[in-house]
């Protein structure tokens, strides 16, 4: 089968590799749509494992079912989690599925930028989800990123009455904007350095947008009747954005760091000003649990989050290198979908 082999962000080669053979309890899935995630182009993280086939935002059709699989059949349309928890460790039992050791060890074979993917038995057992009727493969491929966004907003407690500031209006920021609106946030304000992305933020529901070079603190106060934000979601790893978030949060508010920084980055925090005097909560959120994926698919099915409108590029497997360039440059794309069967 053909696969897009990653060597670095500028070197993606289409290579012939063996189609995976499946064993007991496993599925073979023909990939119909696979989204390029911002983490796929995070070169400092990926290159140490190269060469490899990336792609974890997948949707496809089951083409082979091995003995021991009872819930799925040939022809089923599915999405799948690349990382799945054990559901029995102390972390899972306390609701912290995404720090489970099993979740961090599990994965597909190979990745989603290939014609076929083998789903190991543990993934089949607790990380495969039927695509709802009326949802396309490309829409379903958003289940994984939206599951991450859902988990973050649920963790941060976003809901009616909140003023939410989203720093960074790339694909993650745009999903956060739509979901915050769907959850009833009173005001959703988006920032970015790109005018194109600010226009996209408006299109997907932001009540106001602010260019990152403006005095964002003053602008948020102007928009929000003199108050700062109840919830600040940081969807970029830029140090300046992380520092800015600490200035934008109101007393009693929450800052959630959704995007990783480069290795070794630290941010100074005033214990007295943020915590002791102002009762601010700082938190992060990583990945999503199986329950989060189920919720994400329902949000997509109900069109509460309009994912199809976020797709800017649909590319063939042979064009994966072009897709990586688009995502890495973060200028002329919103969501890039690879369609390996084209």
Question: Which phi and psi (to 5°) does residue 103 adopt?
Answer: -60, -40
Rounded Cα distance between 257 and 259, Å, is: 6
Quick one: 95 exposed, middle or buried, by C-beta within 10 A (0-12, 13-18, 19+)? Answer: exposed
Residue 11, pLDDT score? 98
Those residues whose C-beta lies under 8 Å from the C-beta of residue 120, and which sit 6 or more positions away, are 26, 106, 108, 109
Going by pLDDT thresholds of 50, 70 and 90, the confidence category of residue 194 is very high
Rounded Cα distance between 256 and 231, Å, is: 8
Q: Quote the distance between the C-alpha of residue 86 and its chain's center.
A: 21
Question: Which phi and psi (to 5°) does residue 194 adopt?
Answer: -105, 125
The topology under which CATH files domain 2-142+307-339 is: Quinone Oxidoreductase; Chain A, domain 1 (3.90.180)
Question: Has residue 332 got a pLDDT over 90?
Answer: no
Rg (the chain; Cα; Å): 20
Rounded Cα distance between 297 and 255, Å, is: 26
pLDDT tens track for 84-112:
999 999 999 999 999 999 999 999 999 99
Return the DSSP state at 20. Answer: P
Class at the top of the CATH hierarchy for domain 149-284: alpha beta
Would you say 317 and 338 are in contact if contact means Cβ atoms under 8 Å apart?
yes
Residue 298, pLDDT score? 98
Q: Where in the chain is the domain with CATH 3.90.180.10?
A: 2-142+307-339
């Amino acid at each position: 089968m053909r696969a897009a082999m990653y060597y670095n962000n500028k070197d993606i080669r289409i290579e012939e590799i063996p189609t995976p053979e499946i064993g007991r309890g496993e599925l073979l899935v023909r990939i119909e749509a696979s989204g390029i995630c911002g983490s796929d182009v995070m070169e400092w993280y990926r290159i140490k494992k190269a060469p490899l086939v990336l792609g974890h935002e997948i949707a496809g059709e089951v083409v082979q079912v091995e003995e021991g699989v009872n819930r799925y059949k040939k022809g089923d349309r599915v999405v799948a989690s690349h990382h799945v928890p054990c559901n029995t460790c102390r972390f899972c039992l306390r609701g912290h599925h995404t720090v489970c050791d099993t979740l961090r060890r599990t994965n597909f074979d190979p990745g989603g930028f290939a014609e076929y993917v083998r789903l190991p038995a543990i993934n089949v057992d607790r990380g495969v989800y039927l695509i709802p009727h009326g949802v396309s493969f490309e829409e379903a491929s958003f289940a994984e990123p939206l599951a991450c966004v859902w988990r973050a907003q649920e963790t941060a407690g976003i809901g009616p009455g909140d003023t939410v500031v989203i720093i960074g209006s790339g694909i993650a920021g745009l999903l956060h904007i739509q979901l915050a609106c769907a959850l009833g946030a009173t005001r959703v304000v988006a920032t970015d350095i790109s005018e194109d992305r600010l226009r996209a933020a408006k299109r997907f529901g932001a009540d106001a947008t602010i260019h990152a070079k403006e005095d964002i603190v003053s602008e948020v106060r102007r928009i929000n009747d003199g108050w700062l934000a109840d919830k600040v979601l940081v969807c970029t790893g830029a140090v300046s954005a992380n520092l800015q978030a600490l200035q934008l949060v109101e007393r009693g508010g929450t800052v959630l760091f959704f995007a990783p920084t480069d290795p070794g980055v630290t941010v100074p925090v005033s214990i007295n000003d943020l915590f002791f005097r102002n009762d601010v909560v700082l938190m992060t959120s990583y990945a999503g649990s199986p329950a989060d994926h189920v919720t994400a698919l329902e949000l997509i099915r109900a069109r509460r989050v309009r994912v199809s409108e976020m797709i800017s590029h649909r590319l063939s497997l042979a064009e994966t290198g072009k897709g990586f360039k688009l995502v890495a440059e973060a200028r002329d794309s919103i969501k890039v979908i690879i369609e390996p069967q084209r």
